[in-house]
């Protein structure tokens, strides 16, 4: 059952993002996800809190969320009925020291790994309240139609990535302010980032990424990387962890 109206889907297609100001999961289910995140955080060792990538490879209980009807009903109006789970990532910016996320396009880091970036969507779920004070995500609307940008190096000690887009008109930025349990959706090609967290409040989100299964994955560039068939059927001959 679609969770989005035709108007919301049209807005997403035109702008490359959508804010979903409704609870994605029940309070009980959200609490369960929060506890799984806290477990991952406790096990991270020397890793920084923003480096908890593909935690579902290690913790299969996260698949109960990633493959849930609640999420897939939100994604299907965007990418269609045949959906693959691409990845997930806990992004936690600790109080005062949470690093900036430089301006980037997700697609720029996946060059050569997939045949197309047209129907890849990220659901960004707020585990903590996310606002301008604690470094919420921000996007430049409409940039998902611009192709790849030009990048330059940045200091990794204060940035989540080692590069950023050279020229961005920050006056056009839209800030994704979300309450706990709300989420946003954004296109893999849109220019986005986040300022550092200089507040006393933690900012944790869980990104859940999905693709239309007519997109073909390059096995040579995705070695030891697992994807799941989340809904519908495979259309491109991909190998899935659950098929």
Q: How far is 100 from 102, CA to CA, in rounded Å?
A: 6
Instruction: Evaluate whether residue 240 is within a structural domain.
Output: no
pLDDT at residue 2, rounded to an integer: 78
Instruction: Evaluate whether residue 41 is within a structural domain.
Output: yes
Instruction: Evaluate whether residue 237 is within a structural domain.
Output: no
Residues 6+ apart with CB under 8 A from 9: 77, 78
Instruction: Evaluate whether residue 72 is within a structural domain.
Output: yes
Count: domains in the chain = 1
What is the three-class DSSP state of 183? Answer: strand
Instruction: Evaluate whether residue 1 is within a structural domain.
Output: no
Comparing C-alpha atoms, which of 3, 1, 2 is closest to residue 22?
A: 3
Domain range for residue 15? 6-231
Instruction: Evaluate whether residue 119 is within a structural domain.
Output: yes
Query: How much is the average pLDDT of 199-224?
Result: 96
pLDDT at residue 52, rounded to an integer: 80
User: Has residue 194 got a pLDDT over 90?
Assistant: yes
Instruction: Evaluate whether residue 159 is within a structural domain.
Output: yes
Q: How far is 239 from 233, CA to CA, in rounded Å?
A: 12
Q: How far apart are the first and last CA of the chain?
A: 24
Q: How does pLDDT run across 116-170, given as a tens digit for each residue?
A: 999 999 999 999 999 999 999 999 999 999 989 999 999 988 898 889 999 999 9
Whole-model pTM?
0.95
pLDDT at residue 178, rounded to an integer: 98
Burial classification of residue 26, based on how many CB atoms lie within 10 Å of its CB (0-12 exposed, 13-18 middle, 19 or more buried):
exposed
Q: How does pLDDT run across 36-45, given as a tens digit for each residue?
A: 999 998 887 6
Comparing C-alpha atoms, which of 217, 206, 236 is closest to residue 49?
A: 206
Instruction: Evaluate whether residue 239 is within a structural domain.
Output: no
User: Has residue 228 got a pLDDT over 90?
Assistant: yes
pLDDT at residue 26, rounded to an integer: 98
pLDDT at residue 1, rounded to an integer: 73
Q: How does pLDDT run across 38-95, given as a tens digit for each residue?
A: 999 888 766 665 568 899 999 999 999 999 999 999 999 999 999 999 999 999 899 9
pLDDT at residue 46, rounded to an integer: 61
What CATH number has the domain bearing residue 227? 2.60.120.620
Extract the tokens encoding 61. 């209980």
CA distances from 81 to 38, 131, 208, 210, 227 (A): 33, 32, 17, 12, 17
Q: How does pLDDT run across 14-23, given as a tens digit for each residue?
A: 999 999 999 9
pLDDT at residue 50, rounded to an integer: 58
pLDDT at residue 182, rounded to an integer: 98
pLDDT at residue 173, rounded to an integer: 98
Instruction: State the DSSP H helix or E strand holding residue 123, giving kind and residue range, or none if neither.
Output: strand 120-126
User: Has residue 193 got a pLDDT over 70?
Assistant: yes
């Amino acid at each position: 059952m679609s969770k989005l109206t035709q108007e919301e889907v049209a807005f997403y297609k035109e702008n490359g993002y959508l804010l979903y100001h409704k609870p994605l999961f029940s309070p009980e289910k959200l609490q369960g996800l929060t506890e799984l995140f806290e477990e991952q955080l406790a096990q991270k060792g020397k890793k920084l809190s923003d480096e908890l990538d593909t935690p579902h490879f290690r913790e299969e209980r996260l698949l109960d969320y990633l493959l849930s009807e609640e999420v897939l009903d939100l994604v299907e109006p965007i990418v269609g009925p045949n959906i693959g789970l691409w990845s997930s990532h806990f992004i936690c910016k600790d109080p005062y020291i949470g690093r900036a996320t430089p301006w980037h396009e997700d697609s720029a880091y996946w060059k050569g790994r997939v045949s197309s970036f047209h129907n890849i969507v990220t659901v960004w779920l707020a585990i903590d309240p996310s606002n301008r004070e604690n470094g919420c995500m921000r996007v430049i609307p409409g940039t998902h139609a611009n192709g790849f940008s030009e990048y330059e190096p940045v200091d990794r000690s204060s940035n989540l990535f080692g590069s950023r887009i050279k020229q961005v008109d920050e006056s056009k930025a839209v800030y994704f302010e979300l309450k706990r349990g709300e989420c946003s959706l954004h296109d893999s090609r849109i220019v986005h980032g986040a300022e550092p967290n200089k507040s006393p409040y933690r900012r944790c989100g869980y990104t859940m990424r999905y693709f239309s299964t007519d997109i073909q994955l390059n096995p040579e560039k995705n070695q030891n990387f697992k994807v799941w068939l989340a809904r519908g059927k495979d259309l491109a001959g991909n190998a899935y962890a659950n098929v």
